[in-house]
Amino acid sequence: MNKAIIGKKLGMTQIFSPDGKVIPVTVVEAGPCPVVQIKTKDRDGYEALKVGFGKAEEKDLNKPEAGQFKKAGVEPQKVLKEFRLDDITGYSVGQVLTVETFAEGDKVDVVGLTKGHGFSGVIKRWNQHRLKMTHGVGPVHREVGSMGANSSPSRVFKNKHMPGQYGNERVTVQNLEV
């Protein structure tokens, strides 16, 4: 059976295993997550749960959002996510999902956004070396350097490490232990 919950990373710490090894752990505030809507195969074409997380002020919502929470009989939530599950028969609108859904030792897949660094150069983005800081190198100490060959192949190859958007991308880490 699939299980899902929305959480917020609070930080990191460490615990010690029984044999004395240090294990790094992530502290996550998971839930409570009220079920706002249940999508069924008959009405929507697929089965899913729409779940909320984090209290929101009524004034921060537009009318369609406020109406959705009012119809479900749930307090307004900041985050709304949809989870496609194998079996949704055990859930009802207004039911609150908590961390008790998971047992110690369960394996979970965690999906989140990486920290955004904006438009970054190759030194920060790809860990390239800078040029020497001596005379004769010119004013380009943090530039890309060589882009590639000359008239053959007459182009820059795909996936060449260049400056650009760094971070703020969706990443999935699989099989983490609760």
Residues 112 and 68 in one domain: no
The predicted pLDDT at position 86 comes to 85
The predicted pLDDT at position 101 comes to 87
Beta bridge partners of 164: 120
Residues 45 and 67 in one domain: yes
Residues 21 and 85 in one domain: yes
Domain final residue pick, 58, 83, 102: 102
Domain final residue pick, 84, 102, 120: 102
Token duo for residue 127:
């860990």
d(CA 83, CA 4): 7
Residues 26 and 72 in one domain: yes
Token duo for residue 117:
């660094």
Residues 6+ apart with CB under 8 A from 134: none
Residues 88 and 122 in one domain: no
Residues 95 and 124 in one domain: no
d(CA 101, CA 83): 15
Tell me the CATH number at 175.
Answer: 4.10.960.10
Domain that holds residue 20: 1-102
Domain final residue pick, 85, 102, 119: 102
Residues 3 and 57 in one domain: yes
- pLDDT per position in the chain (178 positions), as tens? 578 899 999 999 999 999 999 999 999 999 899 999 999 999 999 999 999 999 999 999 999 999 999 999 999 999 999 999 888 888 999 999 999 989 988 999 999 999 999 999 999 999 999 999 999 888 899 999 888 888 889 999 999 999 999 999 999 999 999 8
The predicted pLDDT at position 111 comes to 93
Tell me the CATH number at 78.
Answer: 3.30.160.810
Number of domains in the chain: 2
